[in-house]
Amino acid sequence: MTIKTLLPVCALFASATLFAQSMPAGAIQAGTLANDKLVSDVLPQIVILASTKGCQEPKDARPYLKAQPKGKVGNRMWQEIWLIQCRNGNYPVEARFQEDATGASFRLR
């Protein structure tokens, strides 16, 4: 392997390592399973909860999957961690989603 081919491999490994380190404790992958409507419903509540935990000036919100969905389609439950990046640090908010006949509901902590 030449230095020319080794450098991109090292860079890729380094970026993957940095990404993995930036995930909050308990997260298994980046992203959300919530659809756009559910995200628009839950995100303001997540920011409010982060503010009650001390978040000042929320700047960004990044969702991470904590647990894969369980149950049958239409009645699945899954968990996510939303990392709210604030001027004074990062604030994780855990969300539990539950599908039901009318869509989905959520609980935050």
Domain boundaries, the chain: 25-108
Looking at residue 81, its pLDDT comes to 98
Question: pLDDT, tens digit, for every residue of 47-61?
Answer: 999 999 999 999 999
Q: How far is 19 from 30, CA to CA, in rounded Å? A: 9
In angstroms, the Cα distances linking 41 to 27, 33, 61, 95 are 22, 14, 14, 12
Question: pLDDT, tens digit, for every residue of 65-88?
Answer: 999 999 998 899 999 999 999 999
